[in-house]
Amino acid sequence: MDKLKTRFAPSPTGLLHIGQARTAIFSYCLARQSGGEFVLRIEDTDRERHIEEAIPRIIEDLRWLGLDWNEGVDIGPDGLPIGRGPNGPYRQSERLAIYAEHIRRLVDAGLAYYCFETEAEEKVLRAAAEAAKVPFRYPRPATFPTHADADAARAAGRPVVVRFACPAQDVTIHDDAFGDVTMPAAEMDDFVLLKADGFPTYHPANVIDDALMGVNYIVRGQEFLGQTWRHVLLRRAWGFAEPKGYCHLPLILNPDNSKMSKRDKHRLTRAAAKDALAKGGLTRAGLASRAGAEEATTTAWLDGADAAIPLAKLEHLAASLNVHLPEIDVADFRRSGYLPEAVINFVALLGWNPGQDREKFTLAELTEMFSSERVSKTNARFDRAKLLAFNTDDLAAADEPRRLAALKDFLRLNPASTIPAGNDDLLRTLLRATPTLRTLADLPAKCNVLFEADDAYDFDAAAVEKNLRKGNNAGFDVLTQLETLLASLPQEAWQIQPLHDAVETFAATNALGMGKVAQPLRVAVTGTTVSPPIADTLAILGKEKTLARIRRCLALR
């Protein structure tokens, strides 16, 4: 097998989302299985959408997934991004001179040309195309301006951009997923290579870097497939070799067939807000205050302007409306308690078919199994129930050190939990008491109450009715007897097995099913019917807290 050198080239306009993670994983697998190399390059030429803080976060998320790379951007000892490898720099903003030099070579060769239109002038050109109902195509001049013309234009304060003089030839690329894709020359335009701010556009920067960094196989999302002809023509213009192959990955859709995107978070929250407004449970002013914004801002947001409400505020608003924001970014899945192995396994099956019955595999196994020929061009559907099932299995299969590490990571990212995150012995006990978890979030959902103050939790009215009051206070009677029994147990009996035996013996002696004993007790000490097994629950609480809680509950009688 040829050694493949692949790369992952995110633009830092936000966190690493799940579709990008799939691109990174497949690129990584191809490089590793062929004994080749994997590069992480940061494509930061879009200065308007640039978010510097996203770079270390993207790196962190890639590392969390278990990926590593031979060359590229990494985090230095001071916590800031640094480049490492022989083909750096690996941030495009640090390679401007390289692009300028390459683009100038095309101008010199008559393969690209300067243009000087102001924004207003370009608008007029575009309006003409629009009026004629034809796609805008820049009118290529018969003779190209010289470098001196460009200097003069610059001195006169005009914007100077460089456009590619597209050769009049159809371009066919062979894609490993989509097959042959042809772009007819008649549909091509003289696209911009160099912007007035001195930054290149995506196309030349991407092509130059892939060539100079020795990247020979390109994996990326389907949204770039319609652009690849530009890259082919640019490669020819510079005399760069064709890559060994391309593999564009199909779209990832929500179950309702909409494209899965960061916008989904806004869409769902907006729907809930509109619903609450319509039902009268929420006023416009109330909405604005929950969003921490002016009313005019939230109105714009309700009308569809996602950007009006930043993510942190959206999360707050969503929580207040009881909307669980869908996980979209890798960091979302991590914070919601998914294991990276489950995320990788699930994501790999989005648009790729392993060609065998087996569906579960590790990253190492995927690295061996992956083949770009088995990438499908059919849109993939994001089935959250399946991901949850994978995660449940992976949590059950993980050994205790792995579960402990994942739980600690989860608690660090969810500081609102009352669980003492620094006490490893206690965390191990909690993990043993909750062997079946769909996500790590299930653990605090069941256990947080054990670490709250004894009078801080509410008694669920329905649970009290059903398990304590019903049948002429039968549950309260049981609870009264249990209080006496538990109070009589010596301190050394306050452990899982002796407590389990004591409760079981009590049930047998009184000819009661375990449920008739455990449930009243559970409602008393947690307020609800959901908690770890009763003996574990009591052991974790300890004698004093258990008795205080039982007494507080008995006072409801």
- Contact residues: ligand GLU, CB under 6 A: 9-11, 43, 206, 220, 224
Spatial separation of the C-alpha atoms in residues 126 and 445, rounded to whole Å: 56
Total Cβ atoms within 10 A of residue 199: 17
Q: List all residues 6 or more positions away from 317 whose beta carbon is below 8 Å from its beta carbon.
A: 269, 273, 287, 290, 291, 309
Radius of gyration from C-alpha coordinates of the chain: 31
| 191 close to 201: Cβ distance less than 8 angstroms | yes
CA 9 from chain center: how many Å? Answer: 16
| 227 close to 189: Cβ distance less than 8 angstroms | no
CB of 9 to ligand GLU, least distance (A): 4
Q: List all residues 6 or more positions away from 19 whose beta carbon is below 8 Å from its beta carbon.
A: 221, 249, 252, 260
**CA neighbor of 13 nearest in space, from 55, 48, 51, 41:** 51
**CA neighbor of 115 nearest in space, from 233, 230, 195, 227:** 195
CB of 330 to ligand GLU, least distance (A): 14
* Token code pair at residue 80: 């800031």
**CA neighbor of 328 nearest in space, from 269, 284, 286:** 269
258 burial level (CB within 10 Å; 0-12, 13-18, 19+): exposed
| 506 close to 541: Cβ distance less than 8 angstroms | no
CB of 220 to ligand GLU, least distance (A): 4
CA 32 from chain center: how many Å? Answer: 23
Q: Is 262 a catalytic residue?
A: yes
CB of 409 to ligand GLU, least distance (A): 26
CB of 206 to ligand GLU, least distance (A): 5
Spatial separation of the C-alpha atoms in residues 341 and 362, rounded to whole Å: 6
Cite the DSSP H helix spans in 213-329. 228-238, 263-279, 284-291, 295-302, 311-320
Q: Which of 69, 224 has the CB closer to ligand GLU?
A: 224
Q: Which of 201, 439 has the CB closer to ligand GLU?
A: 201
CB of 188 to ligand GLU, least distance (A): 19
CB of 45 to ligand GLU, least distance (A): 9
H or E segment at 394? helix 384-397
Q: Which of 40, 463 has the CB closer to ligand GLU?
A: 40
CB of 167 to ligand GLU, least distance (A): 22
Spatial separation of the C-alpha atoms in residues 314 and 265, rounded to whole Å: 8
Q: Which of 206, 269 has the CB closer to ligand GLU?
A: 206
**CA neighbor of 362 nearest in space, from 351, 346, 375:** 346
CB of 228 to ligand GLU, least distance (A): 9
* Token code pair at residue 366: 């995927």
**CA neighbor of 375 nearest in space, from 520, 522, 217, 527:** 217
CB of 348 to ligand GLU, least distance (A): 18
Spatial separation of the C-alpha atoms in residues 348 and 331, rounded to whole Å: 17
Total Cβ atoms within 10 A of residue 328: 21
Spatial separation of the C-alpha atoms in residues 294 and 460, rounded to whole Å: 37
- Please name the residue that has the structure tokens 């008739």: 516
Query: Please, what is the end-to-end C-alpha distance for the chain in angstroms?
Result: 76
Active-site residue, from 195, 244, 262, 360? 262
Spatial separation of the C-alpha atoms in residues 68 and 35, rounded to whole Å: 14
| Exposure b/e, 516-546, CB count within 10 A at least 16 = b | bbbbbbbbbbbbbbebbbbbbbbbbbebebb
The catalytic site residues sit at 262
